[in-house]
Amino acid sequence: MRKIKLSIVVILGLVLPLVSCGNIESTGNAPQWKSYSGDPVIERKVDSVLNLMTLEEKIGQMNQYSGNFAVTGEVAETKAGEYLKKGMIGSTFNTFGADHIRMLQEQNLKYSRLKIPMLFAADVIHGLETTFPIPLAEACSWDLELMEQSARIAAEEATASGIAWNFAPMIDIARDPRWGRVMEGAGEDPYLGSLVARARVKGFQGIETYKDFSKINTMMATSKHFVGYGAAQAGRDYHSVDMSVRTLHETYLPPFKAAVDEGVTSFMTAFNDLNGVPCTGNKYLFKEILRDQWGFGGMVVTDYTAIQEMVAHGFARDIKHATELAIDAGIDMDMISEGFVTCLKELVEEGKVSEKQIDVAVSRILEMKFLLGLFDDPFKYCDAERQKKTVMNPEYLKAAREVAQRSIVLLENKNNVLPLEKDEPKRVALIGPFVKERESLNGEWAIKGDRSKSVTLMEGLQEKYRDSQVKFSYAQGTSLPVIDRTTQKVSTTTVPDRSGFPEAINLARNSDVILVAMGEKYHWSGEAASRTDITLPGNQRELLKELKKTGKPIILVLFNGRPLDLSWEAENMDAIVEAWYPGTMAGHAVADVLSGDYNPSAKLVMTFPRNVGQIPIFYNVKNTGRPFDENNPADYRSSYIDSPNSPVYPFGYGLSYTSFEYTNAMISSKKLERGGDLTVSVDVTNTGNMDGEEVVQLYIHDKVGSVVRPVKELKGFKKIHLKKGETKAVEFTIDEEMLKMYNIDMEWVAEPGEFEAWIGASSADESNHLEFSLVE
């Protein structure tokens, strides 16, 4: 297909009077454009295009649609098609394929008077076609390089398939497992969440400096959803968020700031209101924090129909009012609402919105198109040959298998029932709806991951144990219930009954070990998939109870997108393997872990509660005036009368087939001077029979503050590999920076006083305790 070069615009950019050098002049309070790149050449190019544009064309750049506007090479008679013919779409999302996007771009260029390239975006959340584990799972690897690598592969595939802008990473802190979108993020902790945010932004964007955007395999990343979306009231998606400014700054903002520090190019608004102001119309968030305090120069897109939704929120009278509020808040691009495209012109004519405001937004959008090189070659990401060579190439599949292995968390392993050694003769009863389940293995947001290509557990086991002493037989036992969204109940046509129980129980009786694979159907988590009951759905637990009666050891493998209530399973199962949704290579990766070919090393990044009543539950809570006293449980102290305070599995928890001993905790000095540092260290020994990896974690507690501090906070971690019998000293440096917090006046300072630290295997491991003080 013919390549259209848009040199005309570029040439214009160089010869036109170099107006205002990228900074739209500000008069009084008029907004200013501060470019992302800070590069005067790019700024001049942007200005020169902007100066040629009509108001309608500018507004068109701020308009984003989903899906296709052309199906067979000609513009379809749709709303999107209508705007396209007027040259009034700046971006579309979630269409794929080098050839297809080439065709769409051709259509766009045909109608765009100034030949302004369209920007194609997509939700490439955990891989494009090669599907990696869901992000929550991957975060459990605590392996930042690995996460960067999987994001890089996703970018390689996506940029070969026409996509230059990724709506990822989702970096919302999430502490409520009822909320279905916990599967998309990195869990509950702001420190770990910030590092993961950086790793993923780095992976997707693949740049050291903005100049690298000229490379073929770089894409824009999006920090979403700004902000607080993970704190939706009662875990119900899109629900209201009410939190203190302190909590916002201490817990929910840090990953977003980290993404800005990593050079992220775009932000997406959150659907929710934050303390009464919908995020899409929230000046405090976008102007004060993001632009003024953090100096963010990239672009901001709304979430899907979020401008329109401000009417339902009761914040805007109508779409026109909502549009005014959004542009005033500093939003650059309108996803789907059509508020900008239908109302902005009128608002300008009425003097309610200035053309300067629009120029600023359009400059941000144009800058990205220049940085990506789309003005030079609008078909840069449309090389069908490259796409063919890139997607699902064997190297990527290999990486996907490794990432999946490293994301699987071993939760229980009583009497070392695992691994299932290949050379030990054993009859294994394979039971449960996930043994042959294929469709769910990619999890939600596997946008182009072909579900039919994912490897089932059965297939993985068959290959792994082909020539072994382990013999499998299978009975499904029960099936996964399906939710009928119209009644919000389990569908009456798919209610799992107990008819499969007898066959499964019989099989179990005639086996040495029972391996059960259970979980949630993939769309039980993700967007608009909140649950009020987080136990295993349907009658899966009932089946487990029946199997338990056989007295045979049971290994439970779980496939799910959120922490579940495993209170009964934890006590009654011999082994529990949390596989999450492992992606394309699911069956192989789980078989690698079950067989011991890979020794599990992942640790939870979200607390697993005992019941929904404990939610929200997370490790870094504040202490009360009446902390629970184990020696006096009946006292009037902060506790429940019907449940312990502690979770089933804490943050940072995960087992290995080997064991690690922590000894010799030491501190280099009891006093830390401002500007100085000290070292804490521990010796970690692999005391078991296998080589393995351990995530060694450092937690710190500020004992007395001008405001109450959490009982502990993660401040560092190291993932180390230890051969059996090997000992390594693990050291962490503690400095003043690490002790900083928002004091009573909301200043970011370290307050002098006493601190305690723990170096351990999880947030609940307090065996290696150290103390020091920060002195003036």
Residues that bind ligand NOJ (CB under 6 A): 94, 123, 167, 224, 303-304, 527
SS3 139: helix
| Pairwise CA distance, residues 605 & 136, whole Å | 8
Number of Cβ within a 10 Å radius of residue 695: 21
Which residues lie below 8 Å from residue 1, measured CB to CB, with a gap of 6+?
99, 102, 106, 379
| Pairwise CA distance, residues 607 & 618, whole Å | 6
Q: Encode 475-527 in three state secondary structure.
A: ECCCCCCCEECCCCEECCCCCCCCCCHHHHHHHHHCCCEEEEEEECCHHHCCC
| Residue 84: alpha-carbon gap to chain centroid | 33
* CB nearer to ligand NOJ: pick between 94 and 354: 94
* CB nearer to ligand NOJ: pick between 152 and 224: 224
| Pairwise CA distance, residues 577 & 625, whole Å | 38
Structure token digits, residue 480: 């996964």
| Pairwise CA distance, residues 658 & 686, whole Å | 7
Contact 680, 734 (CB under 8 A): yes
Minimum CB distance to ligand NOJ, residue 182 (Å) = 14
From the candidates 123, 143, 273, 303, which is the catalytic residue? Answer: 303
CA distances from 121 to 27, 97, 161, 164, 334 (A): 34, 12, 11, 6, 13
Side chain identity at residue 532, one-letter code: T
Side chain identity at residue 495, one-letter code: V
* CB nearer to ligand NOJ: pick between 123 and 334: 123
| Pairwise CA distance, residues 572 & 554, whole Å | 9
Exposure on the CB side of residue 742, measured as CA atoms within 13 A: 12
* CB nearer to ligand NOJ: pick between 294 and 304: 304
Minimum CB distance to ligand NOJ, residue 174 (Å) = 13
Contact 187, 251 (CB under 8 A): no
SS3 421: coil
Side chain identity at residue 327, one-letter code: I
* CB nearer to ligand NOJ: pick between 223 and 658: 223
* CB nearer to ligand NOJ: pick between 237 and 459: 237
Structure token digits, residue 740: 């900083």
Contact 653, 714 (CB under 8 A): no
Minimum CB distance to ligand NOJ, residue 161 (Å) = 16
Q: Encode 271-333 in three state secondary structure.
A: CCEECCEEHHHCHHHHHHHHHHHCCCCCEEECCCCHHHHHHHHCCCCCHHHHHHHHHHHCCCE
Minimum CB distance to ligand NOJ, residue 123 (Å) = 5
Examine the residue annotation and report whether 273 is marked as an active-site residue of this protein: no
* CB nearer to ligand NOJ: pick between 184 and 569: 184
Residue nearest ligand NOJ, CB atom distance? 167
Minimum CB distance to ligand NOJ, residue 126 (Å) = 13
Minimum CB distance to ligand NOJ, residue 272 (Å) = 11
Structure token digits, residue 155: 């970018």
Minimum CB distance to ligand NOJ, residue 443 (Å) = 15
Minimum CB distance to ligand NOJ, residue 170 (Å) = 6
Structure token digits, residue 561: 């997108």
Minimum CB distance to ligand NOJ, residue 211 (Å) = 27
* CB nearer to ligand NOJ: pick between 303 and 751: 303
CA distances from 737 to 596, 676, 715, 751 (A): 41, 10, 11, 11
The conformation of residue 634, written as its DSSP 8-state character, comes to T
* CB nearer to ligand NOJ: pick between 105 and 223: 223
Which residues lie below 8 Å from residue 727, measured CB to CB, with a gap of 6+?
683, 684, 685, 686
* CB nearer to ligand NOJ: pick between 286 and 660: 286
Minimum CB distance to ligand NOJ, residue 237 (Å) = 9
Contact 61, 362 (CB under 8 A): yes
Minimum CB distance to ligand NOJ, residue 500 (Å) = 37
* CB nearer to ligand NOJ: pick between 13 and 185: 185
Number of Cβ within a 10 Å radius of residue 71: 14
Residues that are catalytic: 303
